[in-house]
């Protein structure tokens, strides 16, 4: 039987049963997952109906696994487009409009044309109209101040922010692990 390498991904939980990471969501291919199971590095928490068979064994493909040894969270999050949006909570930092990622742009507080660098401290999420309005001016010269001063977020801050923006696709066996550790809304 052949199984596509991208099909049947497993959600990877840390040894404390929280997802190893939210962004990107920690998923392993079934192939890597089986290898980790066979080498005894993970516990199988939940499985798909899908099985793989060989002459010597058959196994349900894991849908959720947990690491046997706790891994410390990465201290410095990657400086990526998505993480900048996540830090800024998918909202224009000038007018506050919350937008889907494909409708957001990046604005350099100090424009690149004036030597501004592409760093956590100089880049914010902005809607297209605000970005256009600011143009090549310095943020303060344009009378446009970001709602929150841009700083490099900690992995923890991004993790917290990520819980508010769950991925679009979730296998049902993952949901509990993505939401159980979310804060409960007061009734």
Please report, as ranges, the residues that interact with Zn ion according to CB under 5 A.
92, 94-95, 127, 130
CB nearer to Zn ion: give 15 or 138.
138
Question: What size, in residues, is the chain?
Answer: 187
The least distance separating Zn ion from the CB of residue 133, rounded to whole angstroms, comes to 8
- Do strands 27-28 and 123-127 pair parallel, antiparallel, or not at all (unpaired)? unpaired
- The region, left, alpha or beta by phi > 0 then psi within -120 to 50, assigned to residue 154 is beta
Of 83, 105, 102, 86, nearest to 94 (Cα)? 105
Nearer to Zn ion, 95 or 151 (CB): 95
Cβ at position 158, least distance to Zn ion in Å: 22
CB of 148 to Zn ion, least distance (A): 14
For Zn ion, the closer CB: 61 or 127: 127
- Of the two residues 64 and 92, which places its CB atom closer to Zn ion in the complex? 92
Instruction: Give the shortest CB-127-to-Zn ion separation in angstroms.
Output: 4
DSSP annotation string for 120-187: TTTEEEEEHHHHHHHTTS-TTTTT---SS---PPPHHHHHHHHTTS--S---HHHHHHHHTTSPPPP-
């Amino acid at each position: 039987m052949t199984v596509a390498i991208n099909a049947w991904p497993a959600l990877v939980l840390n040894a404390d049963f929280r997802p190893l990471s939210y962004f990107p969501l920690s998923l392993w291919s079934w192939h890597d997952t089986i290898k980790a199971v066979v080498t005894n590095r993970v516990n199988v928490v939940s499985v798909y109906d899908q099985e793989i068979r060989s002459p010597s064994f058959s196994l349900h493909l894991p849908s959720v696994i947990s690491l046997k040894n706790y891994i410390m969270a990465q201290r410095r999050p990657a400086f990526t487009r998505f993480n900048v949006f996540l830090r800024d909570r998918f909202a224009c930092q000038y007018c506050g409009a919350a937008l889907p990622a494909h409708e957001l742009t990046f604005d350099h507080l100090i424009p690149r044309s004036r030597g501004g660098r592409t760093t956590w401290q100089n880049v914010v999420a902005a809607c297209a109209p605000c970005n256009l309005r600011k143009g090549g001016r310095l943020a303060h010269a344009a009378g446009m101040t970001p709602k929150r001063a841009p700083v490099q977020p900690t992995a923890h801050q991004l993790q917290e922010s990520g819980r508010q923006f769950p991925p679009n696709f979730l296998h049902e066996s993952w949901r509990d692990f993505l939401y159980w550790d979310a804060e409960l809304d007061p009734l």
